Structure 1
Amino acid sequence: MHVKAKTVAFGGLLLAMTVVFMALGSIIETSTLFLLAAASFFVGIVVREFGLKTGGAFYIAAVLLGFITAPNKFYVLTFAAMGLYIWGIEAVWRWLEKRPGMLQRHKVFWISKYVIFNIVYIPIVFAFRDLLFAQSVSDALMIGVVVGGQIGLFIYDRAYDYVQAHIWGKMRGRFL
């Protein structure tokens, strides 16, 4: 019973911080992407500490609470895409851990990261073209946006790895 209570309490604390970061992203416009990325990193922390099911429940709760509390719903959708990516790569990592004999697991993991990202990113860019851009954009500019997203993914993913390894790795013992 103690373990479940600890999981719920810690998950609730991280959920509160996630929603606060989403709301702050609406208020502090210059740091929106940073705050949304930081909020999505909490999904990865919950997955790594408590498993995919608990991480999935945390992710759904964060998105629902974000829609209820955050002033800008578009930022909640951005968080939802980022959090889904984090949950997806953690699921792939766990799948690969169960297959130690698989060749080139590192390459499979990186390819999986870009596949998961593009499954989310490319449909959003093309389906919400009018919402994302104030005026009509050319196909060449859309290709530039897609390529820029790949570069952004690389930076976002490196930041996530750094947070998990260095920041959360040092703080983990104090909370759990």
Structure 2
Amino acid sequence: MLLKRRASAKHVAMGGVLLALCVVLVYLSSLAPSGKIALLALASFLTGILLLETGPGFAATYCLAASALLLVLVQNKIAVVPYIFFFSGYGIVKYYLEKRRPDGAPAVSRWMEYLLKYLMFHGALGISLLFGIFITAGGLETVKTAWNSLPAGLPRAGAILVLELAFLAYDFAYSVFMDFYQRRIRRRISL
């Protein structure tokens, strides 16, 4: 019982430290003139660390706590929307989609895994866009202005393709970071 309580206290302490770091990264992304997505991606890696150390239940609680805390602390709510609807929970979705069955076989096929990831990405993108429309003072006009400000040589479908390629790069970077954490960092820290 005492050992379980110690592990639980360590999980809570780690969650608190990672939550504070997450708030700092998302807050910086709301202030930064560029590199916003990179800071949000770094903040999302923290969910993956917590997922590895504590499991999906604690990581999901962390995502909810981070989202609530960010809504309270970060003044620029638009900067928080992508984190809440996509980046915070992506690690948990990725965990379940890439999880292996006891016999070592993947839980879902690689094709189905990427289809579901892209559905999540596009769903989160759509929800973020709708939420952004309702939250901004300009509403739909602000979104139209941003869409129309894309470079003239870039077709609108090209913009979506660029976002999908960026998502693919993010998914790969997430995997590389989690592998690096497991192989190099995790064994050097005592939890």
- 2:75 aligns to what SS in structure 1? coil
**1:14 paired residue number:** 18
**2:137 paired residue number:** none
Distance between the aligned counterparts of 2:15 and 2:125, measured in 1?
Answer: 28
What amino acid does structure 1 have at the position aligned with 2:17? L
What amino acid does structure 2 have at the position aligned with 1:85? Y
**1:164 paired residue number:** 178
C-alpha contact 1:89 1:116 (8 A) present in aligned 2 = no
**1:150 paired residue number:** 164
Larger CA deviation: 1-10 vs 84-93:
84-93
Q: How does 1:1-176 map to 2 (within 5 A)?
A: 1-80=5-84, 81-94=86-99, 96-97=100-101, 100-101=104-105, 105-125=109-129, 128=133, 130-134=141-145, 137=148, 141-167=155-181, 169-175=183-189, 176=191
TM-score by length of 1: 0.83
C-alpha contact 1:15 1:58 (8 A) present in aligned 2 = yes
How many residue pairs match? The answer is 174
Which 4+ residue blocks in structure 1 deviate beyond 6 angstroms? none
| Runs (5+) with no aligned partner, structure 1 | none
CA RMSD, aligned part only? 2.7
Q: Which has the higher helix share?
A: 1
C-alpha contact 2:30 2:80 (8 A) present in aligned 1 = no
Deviation at 1:173, TM superposition (A): 2.1
Distance between the aligned counterparts of 2:162 and 2:95, measured in 1?
Answer: 23
Deviation at 1:169, TM superposition (A): 3.4
Deviation string 1:115-150 (CA, Å, 9 cap, x unpaired) is 221222245447746444525649x94433322221
TM-score by length of 2: 0.77
Which structure: larger Rg?
A: 2
| Runs (5+) with no aligned partner, structure 2 | 134-139
